[in-house]
Structure 1
């Protein structure tokens, strides 16, 4: 089980980065050299270009910045050529797969080169190996469409619009995770461009330490250009959304807690997420997302999710947007539900499963968030996701990852939305106040655990240091071997970094 104490940078196990930080080159000069390297064939565009705006779009409006230029590689060799140029000339750059990062500067950059991988979106499925090769710039929509015609699917994003690269390198929660583990556990091979431009493969036979480090290691070791993914057979997929009044909240949370600490392991084809929200008018709702990855009779649902569907918990509305359909179709539905274009921030933490603590944390969330209800377009969300025994076992059966989870936990996240850039500073204050009070409450109860999920992490959180001493030590050794100049710690300013780098 995790301890409350995180792994600190000052630990004797974590040496500092080698050498002094690289001095950044002039971004305009870097863009010109990059453009020349590709013979000015249109792979590098500037703010005056008609295509610049389309390439510089993000799910969260608050994540958008103004890069000096945008580079769109067509293939892995293009990426290699660019990285060699960046390393040689100390060019600052950012890497964008799908642009769903909540944090400004993580898949965007102000003064530097944005490498947009969107044109590298090819997906091929092998009927022989039963694997899919997926370029890093693909969206999960592309992947589901390509493989589901063969009656298989992948352990991929819940939202079909999310980019493949960032999702898998951060871990990857899937509707299928209770049965098959994290999305990253189901990667068979990473094709990656290193800081010196070398193109290597990392898998269970070659570059094995790098292979494990990439599973949760984000962009700290290089640019992954292609993933080889295992596929699985899913007969059908049903997704339900229930809306419950506040008067039903206690009963709902108790039912979800019972499911999360027992029933989920009885039937891992099921998947449940709890989410509460309210807006600037203080109109609130409690939502339950329940899914099942096999044929399901709606009039007689599987026992583990039946309490959420049979009316025993008073519900204002129960919708079944996906009935015995496909995982890909559900991903498109969730994308429509999670509308783009707002300003947003998200933070995460994890706890030892405890019902009374969950209720207390919800109260803290309401109390802090209500102080910001006068912000235009304000909306706040509180949610949790169980990671139970079979999820953890599935992960270990495939070799494990860098995230260090050994025992069941609840991953929690809080997310806020607002309308105007003028409120960014104030909403940043909410981010700090809210996560501090939530963590202090869990710590006082003796239930705060170290792990924090990278893909839900806020910009001020130090995610990777919370993977545990052994995992962080191993990642440091991999970093020293594969990126000794710390190119991806210095020239890539955004993202969650390995402690000491």
Structure 2
């Protein structure tokens, strides 16, 4: 495959920013940081402070680590309120980071401005009505560990190291999604800091428009500091990571395909899979593996039988507590902060043909590229996330959301394309491959009538336009109207360094 020559490309720009050492900052950012340091001397870090690098560098992918003018680490919503007033006063640019798990340049980072790191807003409180209020700076393993002490769980992230805020504001794929819908559908209250520093409690009754907009609208409306979620009784689960021998790859693909049929495991609302097909162009290696999940203590769930029937090279699948499952099944590669990483996403109708189409389109493109074979440390993967009809129906029953998927369109599969590599000079090559491969999959799917017009924002790249597909195009105008109502000056669209603006 020949890659297009990208002149002054978006990825090159960010790569150069990453490689550069900032020696001077804009007057606006410098003044804002000075004011923050004066008001919060122990919570504001500049390049001369020992904690500065530690505070800004904790992002999952090295493609999205940028050195800010300063880092501000609030502990309360009132801290955030004061900081926003300062930022607005000096018209300084800023970025907001929860867990830092989005692997694209510009996500939760900024080169010349204030990085508001929410990692210290980290409390979990159980409320009298059985809901749990969760700080946005927590990671999901911390949430599960704390709630498990009370015998409870929430429909949060599938991997413990993922941050609370980003997952919930993007919708949220959960192991419990077939029962409860998107993780955001389980949120009953938001504590948010609006432009101008106003702190607002948002519920379906108090602010129904904003309550709806926050379910999938990311941080386009303000800075959410706490989420209140419905809880449910914690049970043991069966699951773990399973890796197959390359000789079993075809069997693995067939198991994924069968799971996507009505009689397959997808119809079991207690089950979930996260199958990954990995390709290494430099060596020609193809390998399959999956995370298996089933709620309850059944050690041989029938919905996962096609996977457990394949002899595995490695497997830690067993009956265990949910916190143990989330924490212990992370592979070193997934939990690594050492490499450069990139996502793209597409969606297809749920059926075996879609699984085969994606694999048969993607694999030849990866292996035919002479350029990819030269990219140091390069591995590219396809991840299939089956979204059963019960998921879409549960989201609707919970009151809906900005994603607003139509049950009549049937179940679908979120296909995530992700790659790992070592060096910034290869960013353009990887980005180009993702872009071309994604287009090829969509084109093939459209030709076969298998395309599902939806992009899951938490798995997307900034050049993709997820909001345009929400509600078949009907959500975005409403989302923009709500943003103008709560942020009339456009602070979160002019000063905030984000990647998916509504405008």
**TM-score normalised by L of structure 2:** 0.89
Q: What's 1:487 paired with?
A: 491
Do 2:148 and 2:234's aligned partners in 1 also have CA atoms closer than 8 Å? Answer: no
The one-character-per-residue Cα deviations of 1:158-216 (angstroms, maximum 9, x if unpaired) are 11111100010011111111122111111111111111211112212111111111010
Do 2:257 and 2:355's aligned partners in 1 also have CA atoms closer than 8 Å? Answer: no
Q: What is the alpha-carbon distance in structure 1 between the residues aligned to residue 77 and residue 331 of structure 2?
A: 32
**TM-score normalised by L of structure 1:** 0.89
The one-character-per-residue Cα deviations of 1:225-255 (angstroms, maximum 9, x if unpaired) are 0000111113211213333345544443333
Q: What is the alpha-carbon distance in structure 2 between the residues aligned to residue 174 and residue 390 of structure 1?
A: 13
Deviation at 1:367, TM superposition (A): 2.1
| CA separation of 1:212 and 1:154: change in aligned 2, threshold 3 A | same
Q: What is the alpha-carbon distance in structure 1 between the residues aligned to residue 48 and residue 430 of structure 2?
A: 32
Q: What is the alpha-carbon distance in structure 2 between the residues aligned to residue 167 and residue 153 of structure 1?
A: 16
Do 2:122 and 2:135's aligned partners in 1 also have CA atoms closer than 8 Å? Answer: yes
How do residues 44-443 of structure 1 correspond to structure 2 at under 5 angstroms? 44-56=44-56, 57-126=58-127, 128-262=128-262, 263-264=264-265, 266-279=267-280, 280-297=282-299, 301-309=300-308, 311=309, 313=310, 315-321=311-317, 323-337=318-332, 338-340=334-336, 341-370=338-367, 371=369, 372-406=372-406, 407-443=410-446
Q: What is the alpha-carbon distance in structure 2 between the residues aligned to residue 333 and residue 62 of structure 1?
A: 26
How many aligned positions are there?
466
Deviation at 1:324, TM superposition (A): 2.4
Do 1:25 and 1:92's aligned partners in 2 also have CA atoms closer than 8 Å? Answer: no
Do 1:265 and 1:390's aligned partners in 2 also have CA atoms closer than 8 Å? Answer: no
Q: What is the alpha-carbon distance in structure 2 between the residues aligned to residue 29 and residue 402 of structure 1?
A: 37
Deviation at 1:487, TM superposition (A): 1.2
* Alignment equivalent of 1:472, drawn from 473, 476, 496: 476
Q: What is the alpha-carbon distance in structure 2 between the residues aligned to residue 411 and residue 218 of structure 1?
A: 19
Deviation at 1:25, TM superposition (A): 6.4
Structure with more relative contact order (C-alpha pairs < 8 Å, separation 6 or more): 1
Do 2:88 and 2:491's aligned partners in 1 also have CA atoms closer than 8 Å? Answer: yes
SS at match of 2:197: coil
SS at match of 1:261: coil
Deviation at 1:77, TM superposition (A): 0.1
Moved more, 96-105 or 421-430: 421-430
Runs in 1 of length 4+ with deviation above 4 angstroms?
Answer: none
The one-character-per-residue Cα deviations of 1:2-22 (angstroms, maximum 9, x if unpaired) are xxxxxxxxxxxxxxxxxxxxx
Q: What is the alpha-carbon distance in structure 2 between the residues aligned to residue 265 and residue 247 of structure 1?
A: 25
Do 1:237 and 1:293's aligned partners in 2 also have CA atoms closer than 8 Å? Answer: yes
Moved more, 428-437 or 157-166: 428-437
Do 1:178 and 1:264's aligned partners in 2 also have CA atoms closer than 8 Å? Answer: no
Deviation at 1:359, TM superposition (A): 1.4
Do 2:29 and 2:114's aligned partners in 1 also have CA atoms closer than 8 Å? Answer: yes
Do 2:266 and 2:386's aligned partners in 1 also have CA atoms closer than 8 Å? Answer: no
Deviation at 1:50, TM superposition (A): 0.8
Q: What is the alpha-carbon distance in structure 2 between the residues aligned to residue 478 and residue 334 of structure 1?
A: 40
